[in-house]
Chain A
Amino acid sequence: MRLIAIKPLTILAFTVGAFPVNTVLAQMDHSEMQMQGGSAPADARDPHAYSDGYTLTEGPYAQPGSRQLKLADEHAFWSILGDRLEYQEDSDSTVYDVQAWYGTTYDRFVIKAEGDIADGTLEESSTDLLWGHAFNAFFDTQLGVRLDQFNEGKDRQWLAFGVQGLAPYWFEVDVTAYVGDDGRTALSAESEYELLLTQRLILQPRAELNLYGKDDADNGLGSGLSYLAVGLRLRYEFSRQFAPYIGVEWTDTYGDTADYRRAAGQDTSGTQFVAGLRFWF
């Protein structure tokens, strides 16, 4: 099983671990051209310089009353993405991983919900309620809370701060740090990539890892790198919004988490087939 564990770790090095480096390199690469990002030079143009002090509601010929013309930049939109709604063969459980948002282009309320359902019971779940704010063209900061629920264990609440977005070379990245009660801390990182084999057949490598600041014996979580999952899912997009998939997922646990699992007579790592549905609307 250890051999299998190395594989996900290697892949991880090329995915999750590489993103911050990627981002930094990309910015360095472009320091000469500065086609993206960066900060405005001192002599940057004032975008209001041609207004003569007029606004959309004040000045000559403005329509009376409050401003009537509001375009989509002032509208709220929403979306629900069911990234993973899948059956996991080995554990005979159903996993959901859903993200929803409501808001404008740059500020939105975000819900991220993940959980395992087995035998009709919600075994454990983790729900982030976040306020997202765009801090550059491709990334949002997210601030809020996470609510963990364990069917067998103790529920936990966390304050959450993270970044989510699209890194250079098209890696979707989501990294969140958590602070809980009793000085608990946690970090979770997730990354996905979409490899289009054809316009509709898409291979999605995905990696996720969790770290904890200290042991949580109640919930069987050890400090340090606790959990790593690396998956490969192949989906067919009947429409962009509706795509069944099959896949394989390697998972591994480490340190005290692995010990807790061993003590409970559970596997510390595994490989399993998954089948599910990706959808959004």
Chain B
Amino acid sequence: MTPWFPRPKQPWQLSRRRFVQGLAAGGVLAATPSWLQAAVKGATALGSAPVLSGREIDLVIAETPVNFTGVTRMATTINGSIPAPTLRLREGDDVTIRVTNRLPVATSIHWHGILLPYQMDGVPGISYPGIAPGETFVYRFTLRQSGTYWYHSHSGFQEMTGMYGALIIEPRAGERHRADQDYVVQLSDWTDEDPMHTFSKLKVQSDVYNFNQPTFFDFTADVSKMGLQAALEKRQMWNQMRMNPTDLADLSAATLTFLMNGTTPAGNWSGLFQRGDRVRLRFINAASNSFYDVRIPGLKLTVIQADGQDVEPVTVDEFRFGPGETYDVMVEPQDDAYTIFAQSMERSGYARGTLSVRQGLTAPVPEPDSPEWLTMKDMMGAMGGGAMGHDMMKMDSMGQTKMDHSQMSGGMAMDHSMHGMQQGSENPLGKPSSTIHHARTEYGASVDQRVDTPSTNLDDPGIGLRNLSQRGLRPQGHRVLTLADLKSIDGVLDDRRPPARELELHLTGNMERYSWSFDGLEFGKSTPVSLRHNERVRIILQNDTMMTHPMHLHGMWSELETAQGELRVRRHTIPVQPAQRISYLTTPHDLGRWAWHCHLLFHMDAGMFREVVVS
């Protein structure tokens, strides 16, 4: 039974501006108990998390009143701050982190992207029983890596109510990139509702937070613009399949307030610099359910790290990232002030902050883009690109720059009949299989669509970010980061063995029933994926849904490869776009049971979750 919670004030009861922008001074209320005051000493400017470092860390989890929108709510916090303290640790150190639970319910902390013994991974029911009320759990592990990571609760929806913080591990050998300023920019989202109530509403009506639905007047506008026939055609497949082309996110500003470093857009988190500084920004998407599209108008962003692992620097103007992902970027600001603008993928709002030479300056804040409809490509993959059912050769123009002779189409996986000619005498596992195998459990009530012609290219920025310059939405030459731009620097991808075997799983869902799963099986019906210790294995993920899923595999790296089997970049969280088929290699070095899930918190909780056994 869903617990009955007192109804929070509905968003429409607040003024629109205050709801979207939040309170300028919103955040954790000052009335924290004295024992917490001690823990948060070192707190600096508004929205900046305190920094804790050393080999021994104490964290206390408790309920803390917060007010982001004008309404006071209880948050679950770590040491009384949102975000939680930034932990600055050192590669190679053995760390001891004592976590005390002062909540009335069990809790946990998961170290996102950190390689460690499975008992220390912090997933209740898989790594350990969790941390009971009043109990202190001592995490002990050796830091075998460096970079920008984060940590968060893995219990219920506690992450959504404030339990997330940055985890920075300084490399033993020193930073590869010199920076004069170094800021964590942690993006998150907040709801005044009880998250379980929010989730329950989606179970009843999955588009309850979508206020960007196709309307009758959109239709008449299309009719006058493109004619009746075209307007009907534009809608035909969506309506027939009962799919919503505006289903870009499950939640929106109708319930969420978007935060940057725990600060509302009105609060305007600020990071200071001096002209000529090289500024490192460690972007962490700690949101529960929000993809962010991040840009700093006027500044080039040089991406130097993805998910804590150094990449060959790539300079872009904008990037999209989902919950769980991190990007470190270098910027060299010359003007007085710049806006860090992070609009949510469904375009209902944004998080915002400022980089400036002194406190109190602001720069113009862009308007969020108009939301776009998903395209046929997002529903059907490569076949949806406009050449559906016609001349296959047309698809060469669809984006993939080069491919070997056996790969006929731009980023399109072969169907069964074509598969035979694809594999020569070389290692059949030299590149990921393009034969699509739907699971038999994908034909039931849990799955509302299957994709038979997935795209496999990595250079699609995704819905809302395609061809921005051509459409006049950004300056000429505006470059958006894609997965294809990311390449680990030499030495990161140290296991060069080809995979010994290949696993294929499909990401599935039923939007109408609000159920999410792998292979049509939610977690409760699933069995673990069994991996052998130190084997080199390929995982193919095919997204049979119309949403992007940031897939997070605990305990081991996810080493992304191209459809041609070229190893590219090491990640811990890989976004899989609608109707996309991607693959990555992994080597499980650590024994135990691990979680593997979509990092959209509601998708995870709905069942898009697998256990992985390494033995």
Contacts and interface: CB of A to CB of B under 8 A. Distances in A.
Q: Tell me, yes or no, whether A binds B.
A: yes
Contacts of B440: 40, 44-47
Given A55-B528, A166-B242, 9 more contacts: A33-B380, A44-B439, A55-B527, A61-B118, A61-B591, A105-B510, A137-B447, A199-B212, A240-B205
A268 B219 CA distance: 38
A102 B510 CA distance: 19
Interface string A43-66: 111111011101110011111000
Interface in B84-139: 118, 123-126, 128-130
Contacts of A105: 203, 446, 510, 513-515, 522
A70 B443 contact: no
Contacts of B441: 40, 47
A57 B130 CA distance: 16
Contact of A77 (B12, B200, B214, B604): B200
Contacts of A56: 526-528, 611
Contacts of A137: 444-448, 510, 512-513
Given A29-B240, A69-B124, A137-B445, A36 B215 contact: no
A52 B530 CA distance: 6
B125 A106 contact: no
Q: In the complex, which of the residues A70, A71, A137, A241 has the most CB atoms of chain B within 10 Å of its own CB atom?
A: A137
A232 B77 CA distance: 49
Interface stretch (A9-17, A190-198, A206-214): A190-198
Contacts of B19: none
B445 A51 contact: no
Nearest to A56: B611
Interface in B415-457: 437-452
Contact of B214 (A26, A45, A196, A203): A196
Given A44-B443, A47-B521, A54 B528 contact: yes
Contacts of B443: 37-40, 44
Contact of B215 (A51, A81, A138, A199): A199
Nearest to B606: A72
A258 B392 CA distance: 62
Contacts of A170: 239, 242
Contact of B239 (A63, A74, A169): A169
Contact of A280 (B205, B242, B439, B606): B205
Contacts of A31: none
B71 interface: no
Contacts of B128: 63
A72 B439 contact: no
B442 A59 contact: no
A102 B1 contact: yes
Interface string A77-94: 111010000000000000
Interface residues of B, number: 83
A29 B380 CA distance: 15
Interface of B: 1-2, 10-12, 118, 123-126, 128-130, 199-201, 203-205, 208-209, 211-217, 239-242, 379-380, 437-452, 503-505, 510, 512-515, 517-530, 591-593, 604-607, 609, 611, 613, 615
A78 B1 contact: yes
A63 B444 CA distance: 31
27 contacts: A43-B437, A45-B439, A50-B530, A56-B526, A62-B593, A63-B128, A69-B126, A72-B605, A73-B517, A73-B606, A77-B200, A77-B203, A102-B1, A105-B514, A106-B446, A138-B448, A166-B242, A168-B240, A169-B242, A196-B213, A196-B216, A197-B216, A198-B215, A200-B211, A239-B10, A240-B209, A241-B201
Contacts of B439: 44-47
Contacts of B449: 35-36
A69 B216 CA distance: 44
B452 A35 contact: yes
A79 B203 CA distance: 9
Given A45-B504, A166-B512, A69 B437 contact: no
Given A46-B439, A56-B611, A280 B519 contact: no
Nearest to B544: A35
Contact of A35 (B124, B217, B241, B611): B241
B523 A45 contact: no
B242 A73 contact: no
Nearest to B532: A52
A136 to B, nearest CB: 6
In the A-B complex, the 10 residue pairs with the smallest Cβ-Cβ separation, listed nearest first, are A69-B125, A73-B522, A51-B527, A134-B445, A44-B440, A68-B125, A52-B530, A73-B607, A40-B440, A47-B519
A16 to B, nearest CB: 18
Contacts of A77: 2, 200, 203-204
A66 to B, nearest CB: 10
Contact of B615 (A38, A61, A67, A195): A61
A166 B593 CA distance: 40
Contact of B529 (A51, A102, A199): A51
Interface string A198-231: 1110010000000000000000000000000000
Contact of B445 (A61, A106, A238, A239): A106
Nearest to B528: A54
A70 B611 CA distance: 12
A21 interface: no
A34 interface: yes
A38 B211 CA distance: 32
Of the listed residues A46, A61, A67, A68, the one surrounded by the most CB atoms of chain B closer than 10 A to its CB is A61
A76 B1 CA distance: 5
Nearest to A165: B512
B241 A136 contact: no
Nearest to A60: B615
Contacts of B521: 47
A81 B203 CA distance: 13
Interface in A237-257: 238-241
Given A29-B240, A40-B442, A47 B520 contact: yes
A280 B604 CA distance: 26
A37 B520 CA distance: 12
A75 B449 CA distance: 24
A200 B213 CA distance: 10
> A29, A33, A76, A170 — which one has the most chain B CB atoms within 10 A of its CB?
A33
Contacts of A29: 240
B525 to A, nearest CB: 7
Contacts of A280: 204-205
Nearest to A197: B216
A56 B379 CA distance: 33
A26 B243 CA distance: 13
A126 B437 CA distance: 47
A87 B515 CA distance: 37
